[in-house]
Amino acid sequence: MLEINNQDRGSGKTTKIIEFMEDDELALCLVPYYEIKRSLFPKELQKRVIAARSFKNVFDELQGRRYTKLYIDELLYSNFFIAELFYNFGRRSDISIIVYGTEIGK
């Protein structure tokens, strides 16, 4: 499953992801920059937050991990990148890819 949530800046997208991750130990989060991981996510969740910009980096980080949901925090990734993630991971019926972000220009 692929779900995209386009919301305004400052609407609590990251806070929602943190709450979802606290409730689901099999949820991971993908962010585009390490600084987002370090500054916005609680220390106890940071081991489940992946900071990566390329599909290969994401693929390498996900190797050997057990997860059922992959949250993407921010729409800084290209549509092609999100489609590639969904094609390679989300087509498995047991994995959901859920994007929270703000469309550029909003």
If DSSP codes are grouped into helix, strand and coil, which group holds residue 20?
A: helix
- Average the pLDDT over each of 27-31, 62-66, 80-84, 102-106 and give the range with the smallest value: 102-106
The mean predicted confidence, pLDDT, of the chain is: 85
Residues 6+ apart with CB under 8 A from 91: none
Neighbours of 93 (CB within 10 A): 7
Domains of the chain listed by start with CATH number: 2-101 (3.40.50.300)
> pTM for the complete prediction?
0.83
